[in-house]
DNA sequence: CATCGTTTTGCAACCGGTAGCAAAGTGCGG
DNA sequence: CCGCACTTTGCTACCGGTTGCAAAACGATG
């Protein structure tokens, strides 16, 4: 009475004078149905405001067109464009994204189990990694939804990842820094994860070791948070005499780089890039503003997302892929 | 064989030597079931990796514990903390959020219909509004999921909104500006929506009209985008002689304010706050950094979200509510 | 040990669709 | 006007749970 319950296929069938199976067919692209009865059905459906219940459909088709997106790092403003591009690309494929917030109350495992119960078609880890939880992965039911990692190299065998090529990008950055005359580089790292073994840090450090025998000091922020970056820089500057300091700091991403610039300038009065040059990674829009004017390596976000979606739609083989991005040179180096 | 299909309640029932209805009861809090058989069932369920299929459950219970979150403004970095707080609060209630990207390919109406087909329990419009689409709302089926508006006043009758109180916040800001000696204020507005009739702009302008008979010029950015803000400021400064310019600019949110600061400083060489003072709105973390050091009005995000969730869980009456925030005075005024 | 109230369990029906097959309808050649 | 192939429609069964009621088991009481 007060809540007019939704019209069902049976209601439409009655109104259109056909069986409910014919109604389903009218809403199934490519189904075998006479043109005149499809029109009749759609007309009645519109009149009754009928739209197929996707829950019921999913129950039999075993596909929900839902993808879970796991995010654990809301302090990093680059997550916003990632979410934007990802949701738009999914929606273009008639899919939708369930955004799951990973934090101390809700870990990766709970999130995957939860997503699994909701029968999502896939789980995408966005710029996050399992760390030591990787081991627990084996406790997951064998029938869990397929996992993918976006914008971070996968540390877990058999889990495909789409990321920006660390080797190529670091080569471009190092070439630029070397050409600019920098000789005392430092590296600021984010969360410690197993992936560092393959990641940006190692490629960066290997270059300087080979090229000049330099051991690059690591400033460990511990997380991709500008406050953590500030803290790590503070610690380094306080315990390092001016003469021995690095002349350029490569930051694992833009969020760190921005924290570093802020702290270097306003807390230590350093000029960027004269006293300390800074390089970021991601290509966050914020870093492009005149205040920061940060040299950064832009990740090919659109292509990465397109590649990932091709995988999960089965249009392309699911395996880890590294794509090249683009070095954007600005005033911070 | 290759894909071990999920265990169902019937499988667990067989293993535990009970009927499938007993299995359901073991997973239903407060159901009538003997303790020993509950344990037996849970034990077998664990062994088989069984977890109830939420799709099937939702089909009969008519509740999905899914909420659609509609976002149309990914350029505004304040959306990230909003999403963080919102998803966390939902997850604490065993709910999950479907993030829907509103853009030129996918408008509000399509999003609501889509969410409706997925049987979401509610739709939350985050800091967005219908504008002229409000009219089309009547074309929605009467049985659509309940709509809520977060962080924006609702322009549509009967749709509850939880927002930051514009009257109180603007009074605090105006009092501060007046006390600081500013007398020639300007106002930068974002998207034109019907809600402006009730919103920040009118409260701001009304004060200056009453207090000093001043008509406040409006700099219309058209959207909450720092580039649009830059453009609007540029247009204003270029056509206004220095002597006639405003001495303080109230921006409808922090994203605009940041664009304004950037442009004023780096493009026009203006000092903030000496040549032009700036006030923002939201309390975005980014605005707190030394580079911007923006005076802003912090929205009570946690409380707003808690209030909204109380409404949609039916714990509190669903009606529009305005909550007070807090003026944070920094160096930009 | 019969009786009665209470807890626990089983069952038929249903939620709203889809798969796959069988029956009915249609058009065309001979 | 019949037979055949092809299109269209209807139907049974099922997806994996939940609802609400009836039957069974339990346990205390007289």
Chain A, 197-256: which have a CB under 8 Å from a chain B CB? 226
Residue A274, in any domain of the structure: yes
Q: Would you say residue A331 lies in a domain?
A: no
CA distance A37 to chain B (A): 23
Within this chain, do residues B171 and B289 fall inside the same structural domain, yes or no? yes
Please report whether residue B254 resides in a domain: yes
Domain match, B159 and B223 both:
no
When CB atoms are compared, the residue of B66, B92, B119 closest to A53 is B119
**B160 lies in the same domain as B180:** no
Does B137 reside within a domain?
A: yes
Confirm whether B195 is domain-assigned: yes
Residue of B nearest to A7 (CA): B143
Positions of chain A with pLDDT under 70 = 1-4, 129-141, 193-198
- Regarding whether A289 and A199 lie in a shared domain, the answer is yes
In this complex, the answer to whether residue A53 has its CB under 7 A from any atom of chain D, a nucleic strand, is: no
**Which positions in chain A touch B292 (Cβ < 8 Å)?**
291
Residue A21 CB in 7 A reach of strand C: yes
B77, B115, B262, B292: best to mutate for the A interface, most A CBs within 10 A: B77
Show the 3-state SS of chain A.
CCCCCCCCHHHHHHHHCCCHHHHHHHCCCCCCCCHHHHHHHHHHHHHHCCCCCHHHHHHHHCCCCEEEEEECCCCCCCHHHHHHHHHHHHHHCCCEEEEEECECCECHHHHHHHHHHCCCCEEEEECCCCHHHHHHHHHCCCCCCCEEEECCCCCCCCCCEEEECHHHHHHHHHHHHHHCCCCCEEEEECCCCHHHHCCHHHHHHHHHHHHHCCCCCEEECCCCCHHHHHHHHHHHHHHCCHHHCCCEEEECCHHHHHHHHHHHHHCCCCCCCCCCEEEEEECCHHHHCCCCCCEEEECCHHHHHHHHHHHHCCCCCCCCEEECCEEECCCCC
Return the residue in A8, A49, A86 with the most chain B beta carbons within 10 A, the one to mutate for interface testing: A49
B221 in any annotated domain = yes
Is the CB atom of residue A6 positioned under 7 angstroms from any atom of strand C?
yes
Residue B138 within a domain: yes
Q: The domain that contains A247 carries what CATH number?
A: 3.40.50.2300
B40 touches strand C (CB under 7 A): no
Residues B189 and B145 in one domain: no
* Residue B1 belongs to a domain: no
Q: Does B119 touch chain A (CB under 8 A)?
A: yes
> Number of folded domains in chain B?
3
Same domain, A180 and A270: yes
> Are A207 and A239 members of one domain?
yes
Residues B37 and B157 in one domain: no
What integer pLDDT is reported at residue A318 of this predicted model? 87
**Closest nucleotide to A62, Cα to C1':** D15
Residue A16 shares a structural domain with residue A71 = no
If asked whether residues A182 and A272 sit together in one domain, one would say yes
CATH number of residue B30's parent domain: 1.10.260.40
Q: In the structure, how far is the CA atom of residue B297 from the C1' atom of nucleotide D1, in angstroms?
A: 88
In this prediction, residue B163 carries a pLDDT of 94
Q: Could you say which of A55, A84, A100 has the minimum Cβ distance to residue B87?
A: A100
Range of the domain at B35: 9-52
Which residues of A fall within a CB distance of 8 Å from B80?
74, 77, 79-80
Residue B171 and residue B131 share a domain = no
Is B80 in the A-facing interface, judged by CB distances under 8 Å? yes
Q: What is the pLDDT along chain B (333 residues), one digit of tens a residue?
A: 334 578 999 999 999 999 999 999 999 998 889 999 999 999 999 999 999 999 999 999 999 999 999 999 999 999 999 999 999 999 999 999 999 999 999 998 899 999 999 999 999 999 776 665 555 666 666 778 999 999 988 777 788 999 999 999 999 999 999 999 999 999 999 987 666 556 899 999 999 999 999 999 999 999 899 999 999 999 999 999 999 999 999 999 999 999 999 999 999 999 999 999 999 999 999 999 999 999 999 999 999 999 999 999 999 988 999 999 999 999 999
Assess whether B209 and B116 both reside in one domain.
no
């Amino acid at each position: 009475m007060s809540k007019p319950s939704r019209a069902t296929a049976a209601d439409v069938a009655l109104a259109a004078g056909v069986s409910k199976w014919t109604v389903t067919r009218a809403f199934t692209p490519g189904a075998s149905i006479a043109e005149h009865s499809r029109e009749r059905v759609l007309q009645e459906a519109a009149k009754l405001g009928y739209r197929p219940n996707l829950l019921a459909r999913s129950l039999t088709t075993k596909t929900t067109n839902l993808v879970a997106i796991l995010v654990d790092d809301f302090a990093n403003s680059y997550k916003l464009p990632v979410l934007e591009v990802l949701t738009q690309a999914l929606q273009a494929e008639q899919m939708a994204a369930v955004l799951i917030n990973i934090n101390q109350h809700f870990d990766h495992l709970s999130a995957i189990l939860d997503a699994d119960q909701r029968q999502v078609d896939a789980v995408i880890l966005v710029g996050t990694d399992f760390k030591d939880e990787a081991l627990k992965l084996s406790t997951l039911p064998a029938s869990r939804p397929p996992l993918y990692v976006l914008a971070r190299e996968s540390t877990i065998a058999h889990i495909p990842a789409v990321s920006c090529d660390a080797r190529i990008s670091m080569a471009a950055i190092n070439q630029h820094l070397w050409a600019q005359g920098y000789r005392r580089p430092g590296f600021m790292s984010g969360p410690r994860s197993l992936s560092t073994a393959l990641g940006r840090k190692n490629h960066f450090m290997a270059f300087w070791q080979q090229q000049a025998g330099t051991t690059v000091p690591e400033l460990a922020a511990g997380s991709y948070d500008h406050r953590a970056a500030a803290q790590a820089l503070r610690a380094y500057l306080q315990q390092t005499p001016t003469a021995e300091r690095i002349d350029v700091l490569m930051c694992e991403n833009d969020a760190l780089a921005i924290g570093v610039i802020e702290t270097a300038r306003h807390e230590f009065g350093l000029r960027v890039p004269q006293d300390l040059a800074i390089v970021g990674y991601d290509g966050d829009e914020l870093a492009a503003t005149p205040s920061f004017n940060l040299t950064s390596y832009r990740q090919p976000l659109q292509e990465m997302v397109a590649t990932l979606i091709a995988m999960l739609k089965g249009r392309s083989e699911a395996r880890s892929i590294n794509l090249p991005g683009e070095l954007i040179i600005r005033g911070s180096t």
